[in-house]
Each structure stands twice: as C-alpha cells, then as structure tokens.
C-alpha cells in the first residue's frame, strides 16, 4: 500500500517517481496515514500522541510542540491536551489521531473511516480540515461508508471486489 504497511500482490507503488516499498520510504515521501482504529497510545496524553511522531520524524522539539498544540486545537481538543487518551471518548480519540496526521503536514494524507466515531459537528469540522489540507497542496485520500462525507469530496472512486471505479465529482 501507499503507507508501506503491506506489500502489493503484484507491481510496484511509486510516488513522485520514486518507489514506496516500506514504511520508512512512505514517511520519507511525506505519506501520512490516519488509521480507522485511530492507533493512539492509551497511556499517553493527547499532546504526547501528536508530539512524539513529529519528533520521531525529525521535527525540532519547539516546532513539534507548536504543531501538536495547534493541531489539537484545530480538532477541538484544546481542553484535553494533557488528558490521557484512555480517559477520552471514542470520538475524542479519533480526533487525537486526526490531529496527529494533520500535524505532520504530509504531502499525501490517507485517512481510513476517520469520521465513523464523530458526531455531525465534529465530522463537518474534520471535513473542513481535510479540505484545508488539499488547499495547502496535499493529496487527500480517504475511505468512507459515510455518503455525506463522500459527497464533500472533489472526486470519488467506488471500490467493488478490489477494483476501483471512478464515479466523478
């Protein structure tokens, strides 16, 4: 896959003319994944869950701290920055994962069912944030069963039995 987590059954995946064969090369190309299961560490705070990947990817500590706080504020979690993730609701945990993805400022943002745990107001906020990422120049791809969320996309593909069908805008 584009995130380097699974190998394709055949062929190769390239981005910007370069092969993306493993997680390290995906990260080096600025490919960011926001997984369906949110992938946050329950024993860390919301802030730490956003901060640590930034530092791990080479962002300086001061910039990482600013980006972490900013991303958490943008997803509506300013009041939960120092709260342990295990104390947050499912929707709040999902927003921590979204903040983590947004803070990385990737060139490609892959989001898997990221609105499934969100109420209507937070879903709209997240869709606006994804549009902002696209306007910033990132390629934003997300999988969803949410027809309203899909309707907010600039282009849509329908996946059936592993084959993609372009259904337009």
CB 40 within 8 A of CB 103: no
What is the overall mean pLDDT for the chain? 88
> 27 or 106, which is more confident?
106
Distance from the Cα of residue 96 to its chain's centroid: 10
- The domains located in the chain, with CATH, are 14-168 (3.40.50.300)
pLDDT band at 100 (very low <50, low <70, confident <90, very high): very high
CB 55 within 8 A of CB 64: yes
pLDDT band at 94 (very low <50, low <70, confident <90, very high): very high
What is the tens place of the pLDDT at every residue in 63-91? 999 999 999 999 999 999 999 999 999 99
pLDDT band at 49 (very low <50, low <70, confident <90, very high): very high
Query: Across the beta sheet with 139-143, what order do the strands follow?
Result: 31-34, 108-112, 139-143
pLDDT band at 103 (very low <50, low <70, confident <90, very high): very high
Q: Which residues, listed in sequence order, are joined to residue 110 by a DSSP beta bridge? A: 33, 141
The span from the CA of 150 to the CA of 158, in Å, is 10
DSSP state of 163: E
The span from the CA of 35 to the CA of 33, in Å, is 6
The whole-number average pLDDT for the span 34-41 is: 87
pTM of the model: 0.88
DSSP state of 18: E
């Amino acid at each position: 896959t584009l995130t380097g987590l699974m190998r394709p059954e055949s062929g190769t995946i390239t981005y910007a003319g370069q092969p993306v064969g493993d997680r390290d090369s995906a990260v080096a190309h600025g490919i960011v994944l926001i997984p369906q299961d949110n992938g946050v560490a329950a024993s860390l705070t919301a802030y730490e869950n956003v901060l640590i990947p930034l530092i791990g990817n080479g962002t300086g500590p001061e910039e990482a701290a600013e980006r972490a706080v900013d991303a958490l504020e943008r997803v509506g979690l300013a009041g939960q920055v120092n709260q342990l993730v295990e104390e947050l609701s499912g929707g709040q945990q999902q927003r921590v994962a979204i903040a983590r993805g947004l803070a990385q400022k990737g060139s490609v943002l892959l989001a898997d069912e990221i609105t499934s745990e969100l109420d209507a107001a937070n879903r709209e906020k997240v869709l606006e944030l994804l549009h902002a990422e696209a306007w910033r120049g990132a390629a934003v791809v997300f999988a969803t069963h949410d027809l309203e969320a899909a309707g907010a996309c600039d282009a849509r593909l329908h996946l059936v039995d592993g084959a993609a069908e372009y259904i337009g805008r």
